[in-house]
Structure 1
Amino acid sequence: MSFSGKPTTLVDQAIANDGFWPDLSVSEFQRGYRLPAEYLGELLADGIALAMGEVNRDLAKRQATWQAAGIANVETADLLVRPVRAFMVSSYKRAVYCRAKAYLLQQFATVNRREPAENLGKEAPERSERFLAFSQQAVRLIQGRGRITAVLL
């Protein structure tokens, strides 16, 4: 049940990925990231697909490097080649789901808007920015970079 008192109906839908990164699940996203019950399943799936495409683009170089090392799929990678595969899969999902939540939180005002009962927990701009930052941290982690990068100019 969401904070609004409306029951959340889990959407049992898989989002197919490119074969290298794991497939994603709308219901896993709903359970893990507590989205408002007002969102339609199609909007959730669209948000995940958009975020997945962006994260995959951000990680294209890392994917190419790992594929050159013989990794065909992150989830099934040989533990001798990629011993932290479960961590990488979790980090990938965090990157996608946080980016999807950042996108969807921006959409909330168009999904359900009641002037006298504006819910800042769902609509405040810093909420979406925070989830976008979480996503970027996970992407940087998979890329092998730290949270902060400094360049000597």
Structure 2
Amino acid sequence: MMQKEQLASCWLAYVEVKGPYGDNYQPALETLFLWADKHGLSGGQCIFVYMDDVETTPPQDCRTRVGLSVPEDTQAEGSIETMFLPGGDYATLRKMITDSSQYPLYWQQLQQEISETGDYQFDFERPCFELYHSIDEENDICDTSICIAVK
């Protein structure tokens, strides 16, 4: 069930992946975490930021920023870039993901719940994202919040 939350802004170090959402994230994660380990930044929160609307952008042009929260003064290098992720009001749906096929279903569920409440409008000025609270790689389970900016 959807929650409305006030999320804090943060800085992200990220690797951008272009193509259908969900594809080719593993190499980006490996690059990001190797860099983070080298710089003592691997303790940040993993966040995937979705830059394009799948309704209006061809899948091959969709951009995902596979990111990790970092201090504001973090210096990017190589394929690592930094961005400011604005905070504010977000509709969120927190789920235990056990299969990657569940992500699109939960995104649809959250969008539908936002529309049905009539209390919120989508805020297209801020990106939507997945916030990973924990990742159990051994059992392939992710405690994830789907986050859509609202006003």
TM-score with structure 1 setting the length: 0.22
TM-score with structure 2 setting the length: 0.23
- Structure with higher strand content: 2
* Structure with bigger RCO (C-alpha 8 Å, 6+ apart): 2
- Structure with higher helix content: 1
